[in-house]
Structure 1
Amino acid sequence: MHNSQVNTSLPLNLSSEIDEGKSAEFWRLGDVVVRRIGFGAKRLAGPGRDGADVQERAVALLRRAIELGVNHLDTAAFYPSHGPEGQTHFESLDWANEVIRRALAPYPEELVIATKVGPMKDRLARPDELRGLVEAELQALGLDVLDVVYLRLHGVKSIAEHFGALAELQAKGMIRQLGVSNVRVEQLQEAREIAPVVAVQNRYSVGFGRVNDEILGVCGELGIAFVPFFALTAESREAGGVPDSDAVQAIADRHGATAAQVRLAWTLSRGNHVLAIPGTSSQQHLEENLQAGDLILSPDDLAVLDAITD
């Protein structure tokens, strides 16, 4: 975390763990090191309406995540304050960011906050609008510089103009590292010709892997982090309340694990460069998700999971 104040009451000390031979649990995003299991803020609010109780629970959950060693938070201005979990709301911009600031600022020194810009209500922002979005993220989070900013795309062929605009903001010191999201291999290559890319965030999960297998492999070859969204649940289950597949549940039962832990373990098995950012509004689920790195799936388990189609 690179801001003018550091919170010593929420300490994170990762260097000792890396020195103790646990480096496989970590990945380097440019000049910062993160745990491979982080936390995504998209489902932070839960299914209820916004209110003081929702915010207090979210604040407590974020602080608990830091206590458990999470040092990679993934957020966005358009993450919702209410409604079905995972649903995007442009009517409550910056809710998640402001809750993160309330819970954790001044931030622990080793905390990395990644955010994304691009989507606006009903359209993609123009390149000349990206600076305003970045400035709004800085203000909402209470930061001097953003650690990682993804350019989140939809419906465009060339990303050069948009990514070039973010690269200019990086050169001005507003952004430390750049990523791209929802992209194809050729778009990643286009971005890398403009500025270094430290991470790609695309949809990837049990049952929805094949379409992004190529870019996952390319990221591994290039030393770029691959950060799946919808890794914890298939898109059809993002709102919660829908049972997991029998095959996933059977593997979970055999290991004494949860279905979510199985899905996360499968995600992490795709390569050391793959980072998980499971989101939840439940402290119990948070703690379960963070234990997924200890679950070792057998070759037979992996073969079954590879064959699933959601």
Structure 2
Amino acid sequence: MSTPTRTAAIAGRAVARIGYGAAQLDRLHDRRDEAVALLRHAVDAGVDHVDTAEFYGFGFANAVIREALRPTDDVMVATKVGADPDPGGRLPLRTAQRPEELRASVEDNLRSLGVDRLAVVNLRRLDSGPGMRPEGDQVVDLDDQLAVMTALRDEGKVGAIGLSGVTPDGLRRALPAGIACVQNAYSLVARDDDDLLGLCAAEGVAWVPFFPLGGAFAGLPKVTEEPAVHVVADSLGVTPAQVGLAWLLHRAPNVLLIPGTADHDHLDANLAVGGITLDDAALATLDAVESRSTDVRLG
């Protein structure tokens, strides 16, 4: 199989298939200059798609992005709404699903990023995959949420709308509103959403998986613990993590990766994945790995 294409489209724009997820920038919270330098390194290496949220580090990630990026960089910054920071809570997040909360979260991201328009805003629905589930007045109909998101788009505050934690039925309901991308948990060891990935490919919707290597917290399987992954990695002279990311790029042409890291060398290793070719034998070995459920609840 040939090396995956180097770009794919999101919101009508071609971007490098390996971007950067800003969640782990908070590991450098006390070393802000290092965080800024890391993001500059990513951009200088060709990253033009950065994923963030106001609740990453209670605004720290957005502040670093604002400081590090220049208008001439032409980087697409995608953010998300549907949860808010909760520094005093048992979890650092609380659900924020009501329309007025979604609008407030958009305003928070505009302010912290220092922009007048957010290129892409992902609505985190919490319908599927690992994480929290909405309860009480946080159980909100998708149509009501899409109404406020499209209003924000009409007002020019949002460029394009994405969905996260969504089911196939949810995506089908939302498609008439215009959906640029879907962010769901998906990896070699967690392929429950294969049908949804296929639907996205058919509809021209970018697929931006989070937890691309599996286990981000207890209860989730890890790609790097699979013997088959180590076999393929050893045969290619790369790391198991690189194999897991390369498999995603080979899975479908609409896949965009946003792996996060707080380390320069790890960032370089992630970016090098675009040059890894998996032949038919390697793909068959990897495809035979068992897929397990990601329906792990928090909160």
Q: TM-score range by the shorter chain?
A: 0.7 to 0.9
Q: What's the counterpart of residue 103 of structure 1?
A: 68
1:126/1:214 CA distance change after superposition, 3 Å? same
Pair 1:197-2:179 in alignment? yes
Pair 1:275-2:240 in alignment? no
Amino acid at match of 1:214: D
Q: What's the counterpart of residue 165 of structure 1?
A: 148
Q: What's the counterpart of residue 96 of structure 2?
A: 124
| CA distance in structure 2 between the aligned counterparts of 1:221 and 1:35, rounded to whole angstroms | 20
Identity %: 40
| CA distance in structure 1 between the aligned counterparts of 2:224 and 2:187, rounded to whole angstroms | 16
Checking the alignment, whether the CA contact within 8 Å between 1:152 and 1:181 is kept in structure 2 is: yes
TM-score, scaled relative to structure 2: 0.84
| CA distance in structure 1 between the aligned counterparts of 2:72 and 2:120, rounded to whole angstroms | 16
TM-score, scaled relative to structure 1: 0.81
Amino acid at match of 2:160: Q
Once the two structures are superposed, the pairs formed by residues 131-280 of structure 1 within 5 Å of their partners are 131-154=103-126, 155=133, 156=139, 158-193=141-176, 195-209=177-191, 211-236=192-217, 244-280=225-261
| CA distance in structure 2 between the aligned counterparts of 1:237 and 1:297, rounded to whole angstroms | 30
1:242/1:44 CA distance change after superposition, 3 Å? farther
Aligned-residue offset at 1:157 = 7.6
Describe the superposition over 1:145-197 as per-residue Cα deviations: whole angstroms up to 9, x where unpaired.
0000000011458411112111100000001111000100111111123x210
13, 36, 39: which is aligned to 2:20?
39
- Tell me, what secondary structure is at the counterpart of 2:72? coil
265, 278, 284: which is aligned to 1:284?
265
Checking the alignment, whether the CA contact within 8 Å between 1:230 and 1:238 is kept in structure 2 is: no
Aligned-residue offset at 1:98 = 0.6
Pair 1:78-2:78 in alignment? no
Gaps of 5+ in 2: 85-92, 127-132, 134-138, 293-299
- Tell me, what secondary structure is at the counterpart of 2:115? coil
56, 59, 63: which is aligned to 2:36?
59
- Tell me, what secondary structure is at the counterpart of 1:300? helix
Describe the superposition over 1:254-308 as per-residue Cα deviations: whole angstroms up to 9, x where unpaired.
1011111101110001111011111111100111111101111122222222232
Count, aligned residues: 269
Aligned-residue offset at 1:44 = 2.1
Aligned-residue offset at 1:28 = 2.0
Amino acid at match of 1:308: V
> Which aligned segments of 4 or more residues in structure 1 are displaced greater than 6 angstroms?
none
Q: What's the counterpart of residue 19 of structure 1?
A: none
Checking the alignment, whether the CA contact within 8 Å between 1:207 and 1:234 is kept in structure 2 is: no
Checking the alignment, whether the CA contact within 8 Å between 1:252 and 1:259 is kept in structure 2 is: yes
| CA distance in structure 2 between the aligned counterparts of 1:244 and 1:108, rounded to whole angstroms | 41
Checking the alignment, whether the CA contact within 8 Å between 1:206 and 1:234 is kept in structure 2 is: no
Gaps of 5+ in 1: 1-21, 81-92
Amino acid at match of 1:248: V
Q: What's the counterpart of residue 94 of structure 1?
A: 59
Amino acid at match of 1:286: L
| CA distance in structure 2 between the aligned counterparts of 1:191 and 1:215, rounded to whole angstroms | 13
Aligned-residue offset at 1:233 = 4.1
Root-mean-square deviation (CA, aligned residues, Å) is: 2.3
| CA distance in structure 2 between the aligned counterparts of 1:159 and 1:271, rounded to whole angstroms | 27
- Tell me, what secondary structure is at the counterpart of 1:180? strand
Q: What's the counterpart of residue 306 of structure 1?
A: 287
16, 28, 51: which is aligned to 2:9?
28
Aligned-residue offset at 1:103 = 1.5
Describe the superposition over 1:69-95 as per-residue Cα deviations: whole angstroms up to 9, x where unpaired.
000000111123xxxxxxxxxxxx211
1:157/1:212 CA distance change after superposition, 3 Å? farther
- Tell me, what secondary structure is at the counterpart of 2:122? strand
